[in-house]
Structure 1
């Protein structure tokens, strides 16, 4: 009997424990329902956002097609592509700006891919014209054009590159059949170096009236200047040799004057280094400030 009563007490205690647990879980059910409702609302909001993005993407795609056609055809194409859109609405204006933004991003990417060169198609896509702009110290100078046939093989058909630029050699050394930039990059380097040397010579004549230009060639790869030393009134002949035609700085600087010791003096050795490391028109300004030339 005692064993039976013990079992009965244990069963009763177990039942009470189950009931207590049940009461503890009951208040949590409403919060779980709230949590699920909030999740559903979030998913519905996300769905609406995705639908809006899809519609925006479709509208942008439509506008991009219109803008791309407008670049090659006439503006009348645009009206057909934008039929049903309210051009005066704020949404329409925003979409047009977004489409223009994506169009410009694509153009910039393409411009970067081709190395920053301006390229236009010619002869119904059978050729292309590449414009190579030159600049020095932030100033745009001459622009040269290269017309290239791409079919059946890649070859230069016409150009206005100066004859002293080794265009044929650069073409032979390049892999232009598979990568046109192997020709355009070194050619651009040659042209910009030439434009830079030419611009330096122009600046020397404009900024340094007391410095006489004794000799220069068409390629501006040789420049001979005459300096006057203030104290002794000694004349110094300075030869600048630009043997590396892809650079704007000389590879050799030589002084010559009646005073045999002057070219090898510490001061004029510094001037030699200065002229080899600094554009000539700027180096002359430094030499004048130091009082070594008139």
Structure 2
């Protein structure tokens, strides 16, 4: 057994020696040197970039401190940087951008409502902003008396929004957000449906809007099939007024082709103007 083991070790060492000789005979050293040089250059570039980013963040931090504190020495802090530097204005803009992002985050944390005291502290004016797809739209205001009881005195909320019902269902005497959060949901859903209808009219000239209402809770569209040139009616029913997507979609066509049924789920999960764009690209509508 010992002789066999010794032969096994010797044969292994012999194979290693052969491999070593073969590696030496192969011209791999120059390429390896080039590879290492490239790695060094990449690391040096990365190091310089990190140093520049660190210096940028330091300057932004200095500007943020002066902006947040609104000290009288704000100009002195800014003048410490090179006034002739092309990056000075960019750094100030970046500092202002980070400041606005922090303010927006804080605004979101407190519910996203602007509250202003009125009537010598006996009431507040609350603003509820609406937005869709990252764009701010209309703002609605409620004037609320807080003494002796919390009640809504004036507002410009559309009459088709069930404000009184939401107020009755809320616990606004102790927590005003139990009213504002559902109201914001209703208003933003309405704004979303309204914007989608606007985009349908602007982006899809071949699609005819046959019927719609003020609340944008019902929408009937008329499509044209490219090959057959036949008409198809699509009804979108938004029974849940807290959502901007329909709860029911129904198609009516002359041939009653089952191909339209598969689009129902798609239209219930996708904003209608985006769904129409996809359907047109796939050749289902003109």
**TM-score per shorter chain, which class?**
0.5 to 0.7
With structure 2 as the length reference, what TM-score do the two structures score?
0.64
Deviation at 1:259, TM superposition (A): 1.3
Q: How many residues align?
A: 202
Deviation at 1:283, TM superposition (A): 0.3
2:242 to 218, 234, 246: 246
With structure 1 as the length reference, what TM-score do the two structures score?
0.63
1:12-41 deviations in whole A, cap 9, x for unaligned? Answer: xxxxxxxxxxxxxxxxxxxxxxxxxxxxxx
1:175-254 alignment runs, 5 A limit:
175-254=171-250
Corresponding residue number in structure 1 for 2:36? none
Query: Where does structure 1 differ by over 3 angstroms across 4 or more consecutive aligned residues?
Result: 85-90, 103-114
1:13-92 alignment runs, 5 A limit:
none
Deviation at 1:88, TM superposition (A): 7.6
Change (3 A) 1:110 1:287: closer
1:279 to 268, 271, 274: 271
Q: Given that residues 117 and 125 in structure 2 are in contact (C-alpha distance below 8 angstroms), is that contact kept between their aligned partners in structure 1?
A: yes
Q: Given that residues 223 and 231 in structure 2 are in contact (C-alpha distance below 8 angstroms), is that contact kept between their aligned partners in structure 1?
A: yes
In structure 2, C-alpha distance between the alignment counterparts of 1:135 and 1:185, rounded to whole Å: 14
Q: What is the RMSD computed on CA atoms of the aligned residues?
A: 2.8
In structure 1, C-alpha distance between the alignment counterparts of 2:132 and 2:107, rounded to whole Å: 21
- Higher Cα radius of gyration: 1
Q: Given that residues 114 and 181 in structure 1 are in contact (C-alpha distance below 8 angstroms), is that contact kept between their aligned partners in structure 2?
A: no
1:140-162 deviations in whole A, cap 9, x for unaligned? Answer: 11110011001111100000000
Counterpart check, 1:136 vs 2:132: yes
Corresponding residue number in structure 2 for 1:77? none
In structure 2, C-alpha distance between the alignment counterparts of 1:129 and 1:88, rounded to whole Å: 36
Q: Given that residues 226 and 235 in structure 1 are in contact (C-alpha distance below 8 angstroms), is that contact kept between their aligned partners in structure 2?
A: yes
Deviation at 1:234, TM superposition (A): 1.1
Corresponding residue number in structure 2 for 1:268? 260
Q: Given that residues 143 and 154 in structure 2 are in contact (C-alpha distance below 8 angstroms), is that contact kept between their aligned partners in structure 1?
A: yes
In structure 2, C-alpha distance between the alignment counterparts of 1:218 and 1:188, rounded to whole Å: 18
